[in-house]
Structure 1
């Protein structure tokens, strides 16, 4: 395998793409048995570490996920762990039967109500699209209740790996889920992601696949050049409106996101006690400043005729722009020009945009985001518990869920300001969206519990410090 496989290991595959990736390896001479050994031994090492000498029960199904379970069991048995296997269904593939024949440890009856320390779910992996049969669902639930530590292999049984949909009610919570070969969309999709615990990946040698999504990663951000000044670092213009506090929050986040200069266009009388380091101006002066590197419009803008006129003026300026909040409801296809643009809708705003652009509000979240990106020409940050980013060229970036404490007023304004700040620094819409989304999630982690949007905006700075080259 190549020494540096970071770009490959960040890809997120559908079931069909994963099948193609494995078939490519097989066509090049790697046997199915060898792939199963790679997957099972890699997962077995993770299980061995979790078990730390404690007893392990492995539940094996009939397919190749069950075969992986037999390999894990043999790996643990060889390492001296106390391990036993429950064969829920007889092995039904050649590779699974081979793995079954190589196992030397104990096999328990399905009727055995065993207890143990660690349960390993190898019942069904990726590719499952229907609910578990009642007997297997009951077996899995009962074993999970009698094992305090629970590990799912590839994708938890009862989860659709292409969507993250939960196919059975009452599925167990998992301590860890170990993906095999590549991440699947179900590892990041709600509601299943909420119950998967820690995520780990076993590399089995698959190559990069065309059109694959990728996982959002920590960005690498360079400090300003030695001879930098405030305009060279990026001048960000934030346009406020009827609710000026939202614009102020976005501007504060922009100041911490790396831009060299942030100007807020809002009526001064609405904001007594403005911080001394934030320049306040009017919209006309802001749009007339040729040094503006990026604009942000939407937080607190309002939705009346004056707000719509302001949005038109801003988009006519032809600058890289982040469009958020109220501006998303007002946005129409004819308003967008050629400049780089990022839109940041939540579910309700997404539906409004889909209506404006003649798109159907149905399908998977990633499909909807990609359709809007293609129709609008903008990079789409589709916010939610499972936020993702879609670009007009088909690039798709998925992120792990951020802190649930983000469910407080104003945090969307902070995200928009952070993305806009990064856009002012370098002008690349997709890169700015990725950097802003990661910084926003990390800032939430640093804040801990019950933070305010203002505290989140301040935490963008230490989050950015973690990314410095």
Structure 2
């Protein structure tokens, strides 16, 4: 994969435009297909040298053409190869027809394939552009292959996975390995498609990187390349206030743990100072658990307003364990001129009337980040969540535009989106992060980045990445407390 395209995500529509631009610029489209098919055959031989037979399943489009090229290459290399086609091969057109014509093997109907022990399937039925449910015959073949646990190598994307949304169109193969071309597609990263891809190989088939870059938007894989310029190492001589003062607002005496997790995570993630703002009833329990994190009594809006006169307190986390209600709404509206992470109860408090929050965010001078999981997203953005035509990326982008906030749409495929449309998809989070308190830790890391002066989008994206790395370091038995201990330094 070219370094210039390493983190780029290309939608199926963009990939079509890229292919058309390559052809218009004089690039030989059949040469591209041949390069793709050869890459697939090389992967098959490298990964499954013990295969007794390679079974290539070809569809009616260019994905099938890649399959015919791969079948020819495998046969030329002396492998036992069988080819099966969906539909009438005589209707294949363009480069795929040329690849079929050059294939020396008999092509049998897809329905005739019976999986045998020792088979390795090369799935070239449909690629990333699939937008409808698979035909019944393709679904029946997938069921037989899955039942017999035949290993599958997918061409571009496992057939049945929607390349734009990651959703399953009726059924899909679960591949051991997927070979895609030039750049990742959203369906490789979004659930449930991501778990159907196996290991992912991105192969450069020869389209100039310039043509790819000119026709892609602002969608990227979440890596330090997306935010690293804002995460330079701190000057060792920097005063603690230059590293930011983060405040986390605590709930009542019976619900203080979540806020303490956020506060401790914020300190570990690099904020110069962290204060837990606590109601009087919770002061004692919070004080008994805090050492480096400071404590301040904030009973209501008057105390908060007085504290806000100190401009050194420049970032806030509101929501973890805070409680749903009027005070959460009042506090959030007061904090919209500062950097604010609105999490959990903070977001749910606006479920019935979000207008004031969104309008305040639009005209405020602060930086607002909201961190909903799927349920919270559906409560705050019900009309967006209900739109089945949208991918998770598109939903996060729509919510960011509507709310004038950076949205961290959490999950195993967390998406971070800005009101401008810029978005990243995260891919480094282990399943062990699905544990109590994990989201509170993430909110604290975002808050620490905001306190240190990072822009809201970069603060959120970097926090999601560090959160995922911490989960990997903490291992399968992690708890929220051990997760904090494993937060890595900013790259």
The verdict on a shared fold, with TM-score over 0.5 as the criterion, is yes
Please tell me whether the aligned partners of residues 130 and 163 of structure 2 are also in contact (alpha carbons under 8 angstroms): yes
Q: 1:292 to 1:44 in 2, by over 3 A?
A: farther
Post-superposition CA distance 1:272-312 (Å, at most 9, x none): 53232211223447533322232211111212333333223
In structure 2, the residue matched to 1:327 is: 346
The Cα offsets for residues 412-467 of structure 1, whole Å up to 9 and x where unpaired, read as: 1111111111222233111111111111122222222242211222221xxx24x5
Deviates more, 1:47-56 or 1:433-442: 47-56
Larger deviation, residues 409-418 vs 283-292: 283-292
Preserved contact between residue 248 and residue 275 of structure 2 (Cα < 8 Å): yes
CA distance in 1, matches of 2:106, 2:46: 21
Q: Is 1:51 the equivalent of 2:48?
A: yes
Which position in structure 2 is the counterpart of 1:134?
A: 136
| CA distance in structure 1 between the partners assigned to 2:240 and 2:49 by the alignment | 54
Asked if structure 2 preserves the Cα contact closer than 8 Å seen for 1:117 and 1:147, the reply is no
Residue 255 and residue 48 in structure 1: after superposition, are their counterparts in 2 closer, same or farther (change >3 A)?
A: farther
The answer (yes or no) to whether the contact 2:318–2:342 under 8 Å persists in 1 is yes
Cα separation, 1, equivalents of 2:376 and 2:408: 11
1:196-219, CA deviations, whole angstroms, 9 ceiling, x for partnerless residues?
A: 222221223251124242111245
In structure 1, the residue matched to 2:397 is 370
Shift of 1:376: 2.2
Deviations 1:120-163 (A, max 9, x none): 10011122222222223222332344454211111211222222
How many residues were matched structurally?
456
- Equivalent residues in 2 for 1:230-269 (5 A)? 230-242=240-252, 243-267=255-279, 268-269=283-284
1:275 aligns with 2:262: no
Aligned ranges 1:59-98 → 2 under 5 Å: 59-89=57-87, 90=89, 92-98=92-98
Q: Secondary structure at the match of 1:264?
A: strand
Find the aligned partners of 1:443 and 1:324 in 2 and give their Cα distance.
Answer: 20
Provide the residue aligned with 1:224 in structure 2: 234
Q: Distance in 2 between matches of 1:259 and 1:35?
A: 50
For the 8 Å contact 1:322–1:343, the answer to whether it is kept is: yes
Cα distance change, pair 321–85 in 1 and its aligned pair in 2 (3 A): same
How far apart are the structure 1 equivalents of 2:28 and 2:259?
Answer: 58
Which of residues 387, 403, 410 in structure 1 aligns to 2:437?
410
**Corresponding residue for 1:292?**
313
CA distance in 2, matches of 1:349, 1:7: 36
Query: Residue 319 of structure 1 contacts residue 339 of structure 1 at CA under 8 Å; is this kept in 2?
Result: yes
Displacement of 1:43: 2.9
**Structure 1: gaps spanning 5 or more residues:** none
1:211 partnered with 2:217: yes
Question: Given that residues 66 and 96 in structure 1 are in contact (C-alpha distance below 8 angstroms), is that contact kept between their aligned partners in structure 2?
Answer: yes
Report the more deviating stretch, 171-180 or 26-35. 171-180
TM-score (norm 2): 0.85
Q: 1:34 to 1:306 in 2, by over 3 A?
A: same
1:143 to 142, 145, 156: 145
- Alignment partners' CA distance in 1, 2:238 and 2:421: 35
The answer (yes or no) to whether the contact 1:241–1:301 under 8 Å persists in 2 is: yes
Structure 1 distance, partners of 2:218, 2:178, is: 21
Q: Where do 1:172-183 residues align within 5 Å?
A: 172-183=173-184
Q: Distance in 1 between matches of 2:41 and 2:239?
A: 53
Secondary structure of the residue aligned to 1:237 is strand
Distance of 1:81 and 1:292 partners within structure 2: 68
Measure how far apart 1:359 and its partner are: 6.3
* Residue 375 of structure 1: how far off its partner (Å): 2.2
RMSD between superposed Cα atoms in Å = 2.5
In structure 1, what is the Cα distance between the partners aligned to 2:481 and 2:329? 27
